[in-house]
Structure 1
Amino acid sequence: MSPSVMYRTVARAEAVTWTLLIIAMILKYGVKVGDWPVSVAGFIHGFVFLSYVVMSILVGMNQRWSKRLIVGAAATSVIPYLTIPFDKWLEKNGKLVGDWRTAASDHPGDRKWTDATMRWLVARPVLTAALLFVAIVAVFSTMLFLGPPGGRS
């Protein structure tokens, strides 16, 4: 799967989970069905949110985006549905062109340890997916332990 397809897939999933979360909040506060819809949708959205942030970093490094653009990409997940127009902007501006970089080139950035690590990870997609999954679960579990934004009621 190319960087553009992977990024686009996670960006769309992030937007879909925003929809689930908004529907859940309507059910909780408008229809008064209890907390369970927000618990379920919030869980799914939180996991996909973290996955999108990780994907923004990985694809951004692969595509040699500036640090500012990588942070901006990750930040689009905070505003509902912003990942979709941002993805279209990236595509329009050629920021998602190319395959995964698995070998060093003559580019000066390829001499950095961060690029070498990224290439090593990209060359091992199954291991990378497992490592990223474990990292996301660890962050997600920590966030669940700390409690929801705004505290527990």
Structure 2
Amino acid sequence: MLKIFRITAILEGISYLMLFGLGMPLKYLAQMPEPNIFIGYAHGFLFIAYVVLAVLLTTEKKWGFKTFTILFIASLLPFGTFYIDKKYLKPTAVAQ
């Protein structure tokens, strides 16, 4: 499950950056709302999947509420899921 969560975390981070770095400027500066709709749907799905997988993984690994809170807050910050992947989810970080 850790591998699936890592992939989801990276994809969620990419979709977040695409939404605010590409979708929003196209919507408000170029009056092109269509790309924002598709990017928004993808990001919404990935965000929900990330949170559900975070709950399941936290329960499975018995990490506790503090770790879940860190994982959740990271999903709200730009580049947060990339930091989480490097700091908490890589095999070397998990083994520590």
TM-score w.r.t. length of structure 1: 0.55
Aligned to 1:81: 79
For structure 1, which runs of at least 5 residues remain unmatched after alignment?
98-153
The residue aligned with 2:14 is: 16
**CA distance in structure 1 between the partners assigned to 2:46 and 2:93 by the alignment:** 22
CA-atom RMSD, angstroms?
2.0
- Per-residue CA shift, 1:16-66, capped at 9, x if unaligned? 111321211111112222x22222211110110010001111111111101
More relative contact order in 1 or in 2 (CA 8 Å, sep 6+)? 2
Q: Which residue identity lines up with residue 34 of structure 2 in the other structure? A: W
Superposed counterparts of 1:37-116, under 5 Å: 37-91=35-89, 96-97=94-95
Q: Which runs of 5+ in 2 are unaligned?
A: none
TM-score (normalised: structure 2) = 0.84
**Higher share in helix:** 2
Aligned to 1:29: 28
**Aligned equivalents of 1:44, 1:85: Cα separation in 2:** 21
Equivalenced residue count is 94
1:42 and 1:95 map into 2 onto residues whose CA distance is 31
Residues 27 and 37 in structure 1, CA contact (< 8 A), matched pair in contact too = yes
1:39–1:92: structure 2 CA closer, same or farther, 3 Å change rule? closer
How far apart, CA to CA, are the structure 2 residues paired with 1:14 and 1:38? 15
Q: Which has the larger radius of gyration?
A: 1
Q: Secondary structure at the match of 2:82?
A: helix
Instruction: Give 1:95 shift.
Output: 5.9
CA contact (8 A) 1:63 1:95 kept: no
% identical aligned pairs: 27
Distance in 1 between the 2:44 and 2:78 partners?
13
